[in-house]
């Protein structure tokens, strides 16, 4: 079975064609500048990279171009579109409308329109992606795979905010979380790697990238996560503030003459480690600046690690113990200093990292970086959200 995975953004569209028999990526790539002059498609297959410059006024044009490459004589990996058994679409937010992966039909797309305002930067783009695929591949089975689904198992006392309960019921304002496919994948991989039954494990998964979130996973199910109603909550991120007293926003808006909307853009785009350091949102730049003696870069890195550590502590309490900590995503997989800083000083809780093991050069494999005798295993696991989307889609069929 071959599954096409689509991750549509407002002006971009990433894809992978995966053969589920050996879970092998046959081709992958992405369209850039959809709807903007200078469209470009980067397509990777047969160990080669193909760059196609072509205008893509709409997402339908983009997906048409992708399909053309997939069946192309030189760059292609299939003979015809009929070989694609189904399409799996990544969707950021599900609200309470969808609890699990869902097959696309007209009724489902009406519901998708209704919940689009929950993730105004992401969900409308996913809808464009689905509609484009439906236009170009009529009759093809398609699934919506939600980033939030893995978090649907959080108990009510963990996912609710302490606001008027009637307002929660009416407006569905609550914690939904994000990066669910990644948390699901790496927690499952941790159990597999350790040869343990997921049912028996208490795991904290740290997805640390441009956006970062930390989850508590008990018996294979998410019981809490750091992101909230939107991906603005939790630990400080590249450009996002993470948790902050909302009264401080009102104060800042008044002082800086910002509307609420401008205040939210400020919190999403100008804060986080970029705002604190004044250097960059990229952890490689921050590490270099710290090395060169920049104290605000040092401060940003310290704030990030401290915030992650507090979530680890909180989730150990929520889980009633801990067996495994997993680090994943751009920072989690590539930055030994951050991993070390997050778990530093937690030896009393049975968490000890091995300095040497932790300093390995990323080779894309799973690494156990825990010290001899550490009760808690510390694993670095490369995430693979596309594979989860493909698996979920195949399972639904
Ligand atoms: P996104 O949330 O956009 O998917 P990523 O998971 O790619 O983000 O993470 C981006 C972050 O990961 C950046 O801060 C970057 O510094 C860090 N990162 C990515 N690759 C590397 C690398 N090879 N070495 C060090 N840091 C990296």
* Statement to judge: residues 211 and 349 lie in one domain: yes
Looking at the chain, which runs of residues are DSSP E strands?
2-8, 13-19, 24-32, 40-45, 48-53, 86-91, 102-103, 141-146, 202-208, 212-218, 221-225, 324-328, 367-368, 377-380
Average pLDDT, the chain: 96
* Statement to judge: residues 78 and 202 lie in one domain: no
* Statement to judge: residues 204 and 282 lie in one domain: yes
94 CA → ligand 1 middle, Å? 26
Let me know if residue 77 belongs to a domain: yes
Classify strands 212-218 and 221-225 as parallel, antiparallel or unpaired: antiparallel
Distance of CA 343 to the CA centre of its chain: 22
Residue 33 reports pLDDT greater than 90: yes
SS3 percent helix, strand, coil of the chain, rounded to 5, is 45, 20, 35
Would you say 215 and 204 are in contact if contact means Cβ atoms under 8 Å apart? yes
Predicted model pTM: 0.94
331 lines ligand 1 (CB under 6 A): yes
* Statement to judge: residues 241 and 301 lie in one domain: yes
283 lines ligand 1 (CB under 6 A): yes
Nearest atom, ligand 1, residue 332 CA: 12
* C-alpha–C-alpha distance, residues 78 and 86, integer Å: 14
Would you say 190 and 383 are in contact if contact means Cβ atoms under 8 Å apart? no
275 lines ligand 1 (CB under 6 A): no
Confidence of residue 255 (pLDDT cuts 50, 70, 90): very high
Whole-number pLDDT of residue 351: 98
* 118 vs 184 pLDDT, higher one: 184
* Statement to judge: residues 106 and 213 lie in one domain: no
* Statement to judge: residues 139 and 262 lie in one domain: no
285 lines ligand 1 (CB under 6 A): no
177 CA → ligand 1 middle, Å? 20
* Statement to judge: residues 236 and 358 lie in one domain: yes
Among 113, 146, 179, residue at a domain's last position: 146
359 CA → ligand 1 middle, Å? 17
317 CA → ligand 1 middle, Å? 29
Residue closest via CA to ligand 1's atom 13 equals 282
334 lines ligand 1 (CB under 6 A): yes
Specify the length of the chain in residues: 397
268 lines ligand 1 (CB under 6 A): no
312-328: average pLDDT? 98
* C-alpha–C-alpha distance, residues 95 and 32, integer Å: 28
Residue closest via CA to ligand 1's atom 25 equals 334
* Statement to judge: residues 201 and 141 lie in one domain: no
Residue 10 reports pLDDT greater than 90: no
* Statement to judge: residues 142 and 199 lie in one domain: no
Whole-number pLDDT of residue 166: 98
Let me know if residue 177 belongs to a domain: no
Whole-number pLDDT of residue 118: 84
Nearest atom, ligand 1, residue 281 CA: 14
The pair of three-digit structure tokens given for residue 297, joined into one six-digit string: 């870069």
> CATH code at 307?
3.30.420.40
Let me know if residue 170 belongs to a domain: no
**Vertex 194 angle, CA 20 and 332, to 5°:** 80
* Statement to judge: residues 232 and 298 lie in one domain: yes
Confidence of residue 132 (pLDDT cuts 50, 70, 90): very high
User: Ligand 1, from 182, 274, 284: best to mutate by most atoms within 8 Å of Cβ?
Assistant: 284
> How do residues 73-128 score in pLDDT, each as one tens digit?
999 999 999 999 999 999 999 999 999 999 999 999 999 999 998 888 789 999 99
Give percent of the chain with pLDDT exceeding 70: 100
Let me know if residue 392 belongs to a domain: no
Nearest atom, ligand 1, residue 283 CA: 16
Classify strands 2-8 and 13-19 as parallel, antiparallel or unpaired: antiparallel
Domain extent for 21: 2-146
Nearest atom, ligand 1, residue 211 CA: 2
Nearest atom, ligand 1, residue 329 CA: 6
Let me know if residue 188 belongs to a domain: no
Nearest atom, ligand 1, residue 383 CA: 6
295 CA → ligand 1 middle, Å? 22
Closest CA to 285 of 239, 351, 318: 239
282 lines ligand 1 (CB under 6 A): yes
Let me know if residue 158 belongs to a domain: no
* Cβ-proximal residues to 332 (8 Å cutoff; 6+ apart), any chain: 206, 207, 208, 209, 326, 338, 339, 380
Strand (E) or helix (H) holding 296? helix 295-319
Let me know if residue 388 belongs to a domain: no
Which residues are known catalytic residues?
Answer: 147
Would you say 201 and 195 are in contact if contact means Cβ atoms under 8 Å apart? no
Q: Residue 190: how many CB atoms within 10 A of its CB?
A: 25
> How do residues 216-250 score in pLDDT, each as one tens digit?
999 999 999 999 999 999 999 999 999 999 999 99
Nearest atom, ligand 1, residue 207 CA: 6
Strand partners, 141: 86
382 lines ligand 1 (CB under 6 A): no
* Cβ-proximal residues to 215 (8 Å cutoff; 6+ apart), any chain: 150, 151, 177, 179, 183, 187, 204, 205, 207, 222, 224, 225, 226, 315
301 CA → ligand 1 middle, Å? 14
* Statement to judge: residues 202 and 346 lie in one domain: yes
* Statement to judge: residues 16 and 104 lie in one domain: yes
* C-alpha–C-alpha distance, residues 219 and 344, integer Å: 26
Let me know if residue 389 belongs to a domain: no
Residue closest via CA to ligand 1's atom 19 equals 330
Domain count, the chain: 2
User: Ligand 1, from 289, 331, 338: best to mutate by most atoms within 8 Å of Cβ?
Assistant: 331
60 CA → ligand 1 middle, Å? 30
338 CA → ligand 1 middle, Å? 12
209 lines ligand 1 (CB under 6 A): yes
The pair of three-digit structure tokens given for residue 101, joined into one six-digit string: 């992966």
Whole-number pLDDT of residue 120: 80
DSSP for 231-290 reads TTSSS--SS---S--HHHHHHHHHHHT--HHHHHHHHHHS-HHHHHHSS-S-HHHHHHHH
């Amino acid at each position: 079975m071959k599954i096409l995975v689509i991750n549509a953004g407002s002006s971009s569209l990433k894809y992978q064609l995966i053969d589920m028999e050996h879970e092998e990526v046959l081709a992958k790539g992405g369209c850039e500048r959809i709807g903007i002059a200078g469209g470009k498609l980067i397509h990777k297959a047969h160990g080669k990279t193909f760059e196609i410059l072509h205008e893509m006024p709409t997402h339908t044009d983009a997906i048409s171009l992708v399909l053309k490459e997939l069946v192309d004589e030189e760059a292609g990996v299939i003979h015809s579109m009929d070989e694609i058994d189904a399409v799996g679409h990544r969707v950021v937010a599900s609200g309470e409308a969808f609890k699990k992966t869902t097959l696309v039909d007209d009724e489902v797309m009406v519901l998708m329109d209704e919940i689009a305002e929950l993730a105004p930067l992401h969900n409308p783009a996913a809808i464009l992606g689905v509609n484009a695929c439906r236009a170009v591949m009529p009759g093809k089975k398609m699934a919506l795979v939600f980033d939030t689904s893995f978090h649907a198992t959080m108990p009510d006392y963990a996912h609710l905010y302490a606001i008027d309960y009637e307002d929660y019921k009416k407006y569905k304002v609550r914690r939904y979380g994000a990066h669910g496919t990644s948390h699901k994948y790496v927690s499952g991989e941790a159990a597999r790697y350790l040869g343990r039954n997921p049912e028996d494990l208490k795991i904290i998964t740290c997805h640390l990238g441009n956006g970062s979130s930390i989850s508590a996973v008990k018996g294979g199910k998410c019981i809490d996560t750091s992101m909230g109603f939107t991906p603005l909550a939790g630990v400080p991120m590249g450009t996002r503030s993470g948790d902050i007293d909302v009264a401080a926003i009102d104060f800042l808006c008044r002082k800086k003459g910002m509307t609420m909307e401008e205040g939210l853009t400020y919190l999403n785009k100008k804060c986080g480690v970029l705002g604190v350091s004044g250097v960059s949102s990229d952890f490689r730049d921050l590490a270099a600046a710290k090395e060169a003696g920049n104290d605000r870069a040092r401060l940003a890195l310290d704030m990030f690690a401290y915030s992650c550590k507090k979530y680890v502590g909180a989730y150990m309490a929520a889980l009633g113990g801990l067996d495994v900590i997993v680090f994943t995503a751009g920072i989690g997989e590539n930055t030994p200093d951050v991993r070390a800083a997050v778990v530093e000083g937690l030896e009393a809780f049975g968490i000890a990292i091995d300095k040497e093991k932790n300093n390995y050069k990323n080779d894309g494999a799973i690494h156990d970086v825990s010290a001899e005798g550490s009760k808690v295993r510390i694993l670095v696991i490369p995430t693979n959200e596309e594979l989860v989307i493909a698996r979920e889609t195949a399972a639904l069929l």
